[in-house]
């Protein structure tokens, strides 16, 4: 069977798709890059927002119109199987990953962290979330918070280092909460720093990168480990707003002061820190003053990059029923304004790094990333090479 995978959503979704692909290929099936050559199109759906849900259905429908056999898996059917059945043709199959693999004679329980390249390996250290963010459906789609065992994580990272992988990216639905018994009720139990220390002490991996982090879970032991230069000086924080009143309506579990303390401690340890973040603008009831608080936070903290989303009401979440929703045009206007501000702070960050020496991990296209997430040209270097370079405008590959 020739198959093609369409994928949406977060790093965990990409990792899930990689595991499915590896298992199917292990069973003798053939992954094809060109969908036209495929017999089956597998759509790994995302449902974090109404827009993501719509795009996932659109992907499945377009593949079906191309007369392909279509199987949808991922967060969409997990969160609302009956809703998906109503909206999609009967010919589109909805499966969980286990059923999908069984359908094609593939085995579960194979390599849980498949290598996507020779340079960088995503490693899932936990899944699920117990938080009750009012805009989010992930708790339903991904289930309760579960931390993967530390020893298993250490063994996989150790093996990756022995195979020549230069960087692992620790990934999860609520990554920073690793080790906690319950993400909502016990954020102070989080022990991500303890896990980082074990990886530093017990493996030879040159670089450890972290994906999205909730600021309220970052304890003292985290910063002790973050000071180590093998941990990339890049923090991507799930912030969502700079207004305490909006954060309270979102039920985020942190305030703006928490974020500022996290950034202050991190920058004291790693002065070249790249700070990136997610923001939602136009949340129900967001006043001009509340939006201004978010813009002010962005200016004060000097983000290297922003991911900005206009609020998209997701059916089945408390936020979808909140009054005083903003006009969609105003949500888009605020998103554009915050993105422009983010572009300005990004330019300031890049300017601050010019003339500094960094180590770049080269990828396939003769570019690579510094530890603080700047893409740099590395002409003549091979994939996997660690190249020492002084940053200048003519070797920057991003702006």
Three-point CA angle 240, 243, 246, nearest 5°: 70
Residue 261 makes CB contacts below 8 A (sequence gap 6+) with none
Three-point CA angle 174, 151, 229, nearest 5°: 70
Alpha helix (H) residue ranges in the chain: 11-26, 50-65, 75-87, 97-103, 138-142, 150-162, 192-202, 220-226, 244-250, 256-269, 288-301, 328-353
CA distance 134 to 94: 27
Residue that has been written with the tokens 């020549």 in this structure: 164
* 2-103 and 120-351, same CATH topology: no
Sign of CA dihedral 157, 163, 168, 171: negative
- Which two structure tokens, joined as six digits, stand for 187? 């954020």
CA distance 218 to 70: 41
Residue pair 165/383 in contact (Cβ under 8 Å)? The answer is: no
Residue 243 makes CB contacts below 8 A (sequence gap 6+) with 256, 286, 289, 290, 291, 293, 294
Would you state the pLDDT for residue 267?
97
Residuewise pLDDT in 10s, the chain (399 residues) = 899 998 887 778 878 888 888 888 888 999 998 888 998 999 998 887 777 888 888 888 888 888 888 888 888 888 888 888 888 876 677 777 888 888 888 877 655 455 556 688 889 999 999 999 999 887 777 889 999 999 999 999 999 999 899 999 999 999 999 999 999 999 999 999 999 999 999 999 999 999 999 999 998 999 999 999 999 999 999 999 999 999 999 999 999 999 999 999 999 999 999 999 999 999 999 999 999 999 999 999 999 999 999 998 888 889 989 988 899 999 999 999 999 999 999 999 999 999 999 999 999 889 999 999 999 999 999 999 999 999 999 999 976
- As a whole number of angstroms, the longest Cα–Cα distance in the chain is 59
Would you state the pLDDT for residue 91?
67
* For the chain, domain boundaries: 2-103, 120-351, 357-395
CA distance 158 to 252: 35
Would you call 74 helix, strand, or coil by DSSP? Answer: strand
Residue 253 makes CB contacts below 8 A (sequence gap 6+) with 131, 184, 187, 214, 216
CA distance 92 to 71: 6
Q: Does domain 2-103 have CATH number 3.40.50.12160?
A: yes
Options 1.10.150.130, 3.80.30.20, 3.90.79.10, 3.90.226.10; CATH for 120-351 is 3.80.30.20
CA distance 235 to 373: 10
Q: Which of 162, 163, 91, 165 is nearest to 122 (CA)?
A: 165
């Amino acid at each position: 069977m020739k198959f093609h995978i369409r994928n949406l959503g977060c790093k965990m979704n990409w990792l899930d798709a990689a595991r499915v692909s590896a298992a199917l290929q292990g069973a003798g099936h053939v992954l094809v890059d060109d969908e036209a050559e495929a017999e089956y199109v597998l759509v790994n759906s995302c449902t974090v927002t109404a827009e993501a849900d719509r795009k996932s259905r659109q992907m499945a429908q377009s593949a079906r119109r191309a007369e392909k056999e279509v199987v949808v898996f991922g967060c969409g059917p997990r969160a609302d199987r009956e809703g998906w059945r109503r909206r999609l043709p009967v010919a589109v199959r909805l499966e969980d990953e286990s059923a999908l693999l069984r359908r094609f004679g593939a085995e579960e329980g194979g390599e849980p962290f498949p290598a996507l390249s020779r340079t960088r390996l995503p490693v899932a250290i936990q899944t699920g979330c117990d938080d009750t963010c009012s805009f989010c459906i992930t708790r339903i789609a991904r289930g309760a918070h579960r931390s993967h065992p530390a020893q298993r994580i250490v063994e996989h990272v150790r093996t990756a280092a022995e195979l020549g992988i230069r960087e692992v990216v620790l990934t999860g639905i609520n990554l920073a909460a690793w080790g906690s018994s319950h993400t909502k009720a016990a954020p102070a139990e989080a022990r991500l720093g303890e896990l980082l220390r074990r990886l530093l002490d017990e493996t030879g991996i040159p670089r450890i990168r972290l994906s999205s982090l909730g600021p309220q879970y970052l304890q003292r032991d985290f910063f002790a480990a973050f000071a180590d230069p093998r941990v990339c000086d890049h923090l991507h924080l799930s912030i969502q707003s700079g207004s305490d009143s909006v954060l309270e309506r979102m039920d985020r579990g942190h305030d703006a002061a928490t974020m500022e303390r996290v950034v202050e401690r991190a920058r004291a340890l790693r002065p070249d820190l790249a700070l990136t973040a997610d923001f939602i603008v136009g949340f129900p009831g967001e006043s001009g003053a509340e939006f201004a608080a978010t813009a002010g936070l962005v200016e004060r903290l000097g983000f290297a990059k922003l991911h900005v989303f206009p609020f998209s009401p997701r059916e089945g979440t408390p936020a979808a029923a909140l009054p005083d929703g903003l006009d969609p045009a105003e949500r888009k206007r605020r998103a554009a304004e915050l993105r422009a501000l983010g572009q300005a702070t990004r330019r300031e960050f890049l300017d601050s790094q010019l003339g500094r020496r960094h180590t770049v991990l080269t990828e396939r296209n003769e570019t690579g990333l510094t530890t603080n997430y700047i893409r740099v040209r590395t002409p003549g270097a091979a994939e996997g090479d660690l190249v020492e370079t002084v940053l200048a405008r003519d070797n920057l590959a991003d702006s």
